[in-house]
Amino acid sequence: MNDRTRRAERREPSFERDRGDSRDDFDMRLSADDRPTRGQRPQPRQEEHREVPRRDKRSGGGKGGAGNGGGRRRGRRGRSLLGGLFYWTMVLGLWCAIGLGGLIAYHAAQLPPINQLTVPKRPPNIAILAADGTLLANRGETGGRTVTIGEIPPYLPKAFVAIEDRRFYEHFGIDPIGLSRAVVNNLRGRGGLQGGSTLTQQLAKNLFLTQERTAARKIQEAILALWLERTYSKDQILELYLNRVYFGSGAYGVEAAAQRYFNKSARSVTVAEAAMLAGLVQAPSRLAPNRNPDAAEKRAQLVIAAMADQGLISQSTAKTAIVAPAEAAERVGAGSVNYAADYVMDVLDDFIGAVEGDVTVLTTIDPKLQASAETVLVESLAAQGAKQGVSQGAVVSMTPDGSIRALIGGRDYTKSQFNRATAAKRQPGSAFKPFVYLTALEKGLTPDTIRDDSPVSIKGWQPENNSRTYRGPVTLQTAFAHSLNTIAVKLNQEVTPREVVRTAQRLGISSALQANPSLALGTSEVTPVELTAAYATFANGGQSVLPYVIREVKSLNGKVIYARKGSGFGPVIQPQTLSMINSMFHETMVSGTGSRFNIPGWEVGGKSGTTQDFRDAWFVGFTSKLVTSVWLGNDDNSAMKRVYGSGLPADVWGKYMKAAHAGMQPSPLPGGLWHGAPKTIFDNGAPVAGVRPPANTQTADSDRAWVPPAPQERNFLERLFGG
C-alpha cells in the first residue's frame, strides 16, 4: 500500500503535493468532516505522532542539522523571554502612570480651580518709628515690612539660592536632578537627611499649605509650584519667598529677621549676615543666632562656601565673611519701647481703621528720652526696690501740648507686657489735690487765703496729716506745698466734691471719679498717662490737652493716610487762676515736698502723692518744656515699705528731668508766678472783684478779657466784714 492510500484511509490530508496533484485534487481529499461550515474559519488538524523520516545529507539532515535546529529554538526562547519582560514592564509602567495621574488628579481636585488661584495677601506690617525716623518696633503677624529685590544687596537673595536651590534659575518649579541627588545622598548617608524641594515648592507650601509631612501635601506642593512658575517670573518668585519664609522668633521675611537678629534693615546686612539668614531657614529654632550662635555660624560658613563655589561671590569676599562672622545684636535695656509700640497699636484703629497693607507710623517718642527714663527707673528699682518693697514702676513724659516723648509701662517688658502707664488705674493720693485747690481758686480764694489746719471729722471719717500734727492757721500755698490733708478735705467740702470732679474732668481726667469727701485725698483711681496730661494744662498756659503718640501714618508707597492737625479744646483755666496755681506748684519745689529735686535755672512745679498703707507713690512735675509723672508700686497692690511720693518716685523724676533738660535754655512757667493781690485790712487773701491780675501773669491769651471769679457762698463773718 502506498503512502497516498494510507493517508486516505486515515482520512489525513496531505500537505505535500505530488507533482501531478492539482489544487482541485487537494481539496477533494479533504473529508466532509474537515471542511469548515459557513462562518467558520478552517482549523488545522493536529497531526498524530509519527516517525519522522531521516533526511539525507542533501536535505540537511544528520547530526549537524539537528544541532542547528536546537540553537534556533533556544534563541527563540531567549527572545520570547526578553519580549515578555519588556511587554510586562510596559504594562506595569502604563498602569503606574495611570495610577499616578489619578492620584495627582485627585489631590489637584482638592485645590481651588487654577483660574481662581491667587497668592494670598501677606499680613500687613506696622512699622513704628520714633520722632527722628528710627525704627522702634514692628507690629503685625510678620514682624517686618515687605522688601523688593531691588532694595536689598544682591548677595542676600544669592545666599538663599546657593544653599537652598542652586538650580533655581534652571528648573521649572520641580528639580528632578536635585531630587535625585538628594535621594542618592540620603541613601548613602552623606550630609544628613536632605530634601529635594525647590525654593518654588517651599514658597508654595508657605503660601497655600500646612507644614504636615505627607505624600498628599507633597503632591499638592508640586502642582502649586508648577502654577507659580507659569504665573510669575523667577525674580518675582524669589521676592515672594524672601518676604514669606519664617526665620523664627515671630519673624516672617528677611526684613523682620534682619531687624530681629541684627537690629538693622535687610538693606544693610553684610555678606556674613546674609549667609546666616539664609542658613537659618533650614531649622529656625535650632539655628537662631541668639540661641545657638555656634550652630548658626557653622551653617553660615556652609552658605558662604556654596556661594563661592558657585561664583556668586569672590573668594576674597568669602574669606572676609568667614574671618568676621555675623553676631546677633543684643537687645538694649529692658525693651521699654515695646510699651510705647503697644500703646500705638491700641490707638491706631481710632485714626485709620483696619490696616489693609503695610503702613509706617511716625510717633512722638524721643529715643534718647525713652532710653533715659528706662535707665533711671530700672537702675533705681534695682538699687532700692527689694529694700523698700517695690517691684514695679511707670514713667510718662510729654511736652505741654500732650506729645508723649517717653512712655515706660513697667520694669521689664520681657517679663511683663502689662502697660502700667496707660492701663493701670491706681489711686493718685495727694497728687490729686491740685484739682481741689484749682476749684477753690476759681471760687475766689487765693494762695494767701488762710485756712485752719486742725482735726476734721465728716460722718465719723477723721483724716489726719501724715505727721499726725496740726499747724493751725496757714495759707493755702503753705498747705499745698506741705500737702496738709486736713486743709484739702475742708476745701473739698467747701467747694463740694461734685465741683472738684468737674474741674478734674475739664482738665482731662477721664476715669470715673467718686464725688465724696475722700476724693480730696486721691481715692479715685486714674492712669499715669491721663494724670500727666491733666498736669500739662498747668504747663502750657491753661489749654486743654489730649495726649497723643501718633503724628503721621503713611502707606508703603508714601501716601499719607493720617496726619495730626492740632489738639485740645481751647483754654480751660483763666490766666489769673493759672498764675496762682502755678505759684503753689512752684512753692512745693522750693520749700515743700519736692525741694530736693529742683532743676537749676528753671521754674519748676510739682506735687507728690502717697496713698494709704503705702500702696502707691507718685511724683508729677513740670517745666515749660516737659511734664513727667512717676508711679511706683506693686501689681498685687501690696504695701511698700514706707515709700513716699517725695522719696524714691521724686528721686527718679529728678534724675530723669535733669538729664532731659541738659543743654536746654531755661524758660519760666507760662503765665508767670503769682505775687499776691491788693489787699484791704479785712481781706483774707482772696482777690478783690474787678481787679486785673499783675501784668506778669498774662500769657499768650492775654488779649482775652479777664473774667472775674464767679460769686461764691460766704460764711457769716465774710458777709459781715466783706471778702
Measuring CA to CA, which residue among 674, 611, 633 is closest to residue 485? 611
CB 174 within 8 A of CB 202: no
The torsion angle over the Cα atoms of residues 258, 264, 266 and 269, rounded to 10 degrees, is -100
CB 201 within 8 A of CB 217: no
Instruction: Look at strands 605-610 and 616-622 and give their pairing.
Output: antiparallel
Give 211's DSSP letter.
S
Please pick, among 197, 430, 608, 629, the residue that the annotation labels catalytic. Answer: 430
- Taking each helix axis from N to C end, the angle separating 271-280 and 293-309, rounded to the nearest 10 degrees, works out to 110
C-alpha to C-alpha distances, 612 to 151, 415, 463, 711, nearest whole angstrom: 58, 28, 11, 36
Please pick, among 164, 221, 297, 530, the residue that the annotation labels catalytic. Answer: 164
As given in the structure block, the three cell numbers for residue 97 are 502612570
Q: How far apart are CA 289 and CA 81, in angstroms?
A: 62
C-alpha to C-alpha distances, 422 to 218, 425, 519, 634, nearest whole angstrom: 49, 8, 22, 16
Question: Is 141 an annotated catalytic residue?
Answer: no
Q: Which residues contact 109 (CB under 8 A, 6 or more apart)?
A: none
Give 15's DSSP letter.
S
Q: CB-based burial of residue 186 (10 Å sphere; 0-12 exposed, 13-18 middle, 19+ buried)?
A: middle
C-alpha to C-alpha distances, 373 to 378, 391, 628, nearest whole angstrom: 9, 16, 10
Instruction: Look at strands 126-129 and 359-363 and give their pairing.
Output: parallel
Q: Which residues contact 650 (CB under 8 A, 6 or more apart)?
A: 593, 594, 596, 597, 606, 608, 619, 630
Q: Which helix (H) or strand (E) holds 562?
A: strand 560-563
Question: Is 430 an annotated catalytic residue?
Answer: yes
As given in the structure block, the three cell numbers for residue 531 are 494724670
Q: How far apart are CA 474 and CA 529, in angstroms?
A: 33
CB 669 within 8 A of CB 603: yes
Give catalytic residues, as residue numbers.
164, 430
